[in-house]
Amino acid sequence: MFDNPYIQQRLHKAEQLRAHALNPYENRAQRSLSNAQFLQTFSALEAGQKETTSTYALVGRVKFIRLMGKACFIKIEDQSALLQVYLSQNDLGKEAFDIFKKCVEVGDILNVVGYPFVTKTKELSLHALCFKVLTKAIVPLPEKFHGLSDIELRYRQRSMDLIANPEVKEVFVRRSAIVACVRAFFEQKGFLEVETPMMHPIAGGANARPFITYHNALEVERYLRIAPELYLKRLIVGGFEAVFEINRNFRNEGMDHSHNPEFTMLEFYWAYKTYEDLIALTKELFSTLLEHLGLPTKLAYGDVEIDFEAFSCVPFKQALVEIGGVRSEALEDANTLRAFLEKQGVEVGGVLSYAHLLAQAFDALVEPKLINPTFITHYPIELSPLARRNDTDPNIADRFELFIAGKEIANGFSELNDPLDQYQRFEEQVKAKESGDEEAQFMDTDYVWALGLGMPPTAGQGIGIDRLVMLLTNAKSIKDVIFFPAMKPLKSNQSE
């Protein structure tokens, strides 16, 4: 594992430190200020000035070394900032300075103690009086001028990516701020944050293919959850009126730039509300996020501009005609729709129901065109097994999906709370599964029984956190906003 010649050289230098009774993997560090605090505190110093009345201990990873005989400049980086440090034989003593020159390399983590001064080139720096190696890095960092640019390697070696590409850290700092803002938003609205099971006896809450595991003690199969929906609605039945959860879902499906097999979802359920209330709340959430993050209402994403002041609502079939260019007469039945799609070059596949053909048409012809925030409403009831039927037209659901920049960001609806209707819907899903639909839902009699206790009129919604972060950080791939995305194993490392 460590037979690389460059690693061997670094291991030798670690042994040299030990030979001088210095531990290359120290346990204790001194720290007076972060690098950013140091730079801010002494920002008023001018070229040639120094402040020697006090000394300060700082820490950081060495990112640059420039040796100049009996002195050198280095740059160390902590989470907050990059800081220049000056070291000289006059201050450190010959033995310590020789140890530095022989043993310290880019990548090592140091503790330095000294005072602030400003160089002739006007760079605020630390004049070191002593140093200590805290951690000897034995794996070399990428070449400093080019960083780590190999996309696959960046995702597989995220630690190195974060060290070599500081801008990557900013994406994840922004992600944390987004999640914190979302959490605060719902708490301020009176929602209670809850946690529900990750392992389910029945895979439910969404149409998706699950991961299957085995519980040894119970001697039963369990499914990694594809959605927390049915458990969260049980809480509404139990008397909670507003709940939310931010947590992982798992779906055993394909991967692309906007899909990862495990992903983070926000789901929330609100008693005595309808899907129209959710639409209003979602608009308010985006307004709050943009304000909190200091982002403009017109936001660049790739080659397009998203106008967050231009929300619109379009019914599903109307969107097919007006946005997707589907002729009205092509929507009459499954056969005419299939013929139209095939003529348009849309790959339809095997036998599909009319509703699923509509979904294929929407995915191919409408979704990529939805750049500004668009709520698509009134989905076919067959595509919405957990949503409430519309009072006027029982063939459509009181449901919407929110699309931004050609991606689905949210799915919400007025919840089905009629236990008999729900039981029938599950039966239809079971028939679909028996006919070969691997994503159809299972029968969940326990959930139907819970509905029998009485669930108040309720609206519920899910928002994909990863895709939300992609939008607000201008990230092209979901792998750019997940610390450790799923990757196909390398042949040399099948356990990855």
Q: Burial level of 296, CB count in 10 A (0-12/13-18/19+)?
A: exposed
- Map residue 218 onto helix, strand or coil: coil
Structure tokens at 274: 């309808």
Q: Is 229 annotated as a binding residue?
A: no
Q: Burial level of 21, CB count in 10 A (0-12/13-18/19+)?
A: exposed
Contact 348, 338 (CB under 8 A): yes
Structure tokens at 193: 């944050």
Contact 41, 24 (CB under 8 A): no
3-class SS letters over 392-405: CCCCEECEEEEEEC
**Quick one: DSSP state of residue 416?**
P
Q: How far apart are CA 451 and CA 423, in angstroms?
A: 10
What's the one-letter identity of residue 338?
Answer: R
Q: How far apart are CA 222 and CA 344, in angstroms?
A: 42
Q: Is 241 annotated as a binding residue?
A: no
Strand locations in 136-235 (E): 192-193, 199-200, 212-215, 220-224
Residue entry with tokens 């750019």: 480
Per DSSP, the residues of 460-475 read EEEEEHHHHHHHHHT-
User: Pick from 443, 461, 415, 445: which is nearest to 237 by CA?
Assistant: 415
Q: How far apart are CA 170 and CA 173, in angstroms?
A: 5
Tally of helices (H runs) and strands (E runs) in the chain: 15, 18
Please give the annotated binding residues, written as ranges: 401, 408
Please give the annotated binding residues for Mg(2+), written as ranges: 401, 408
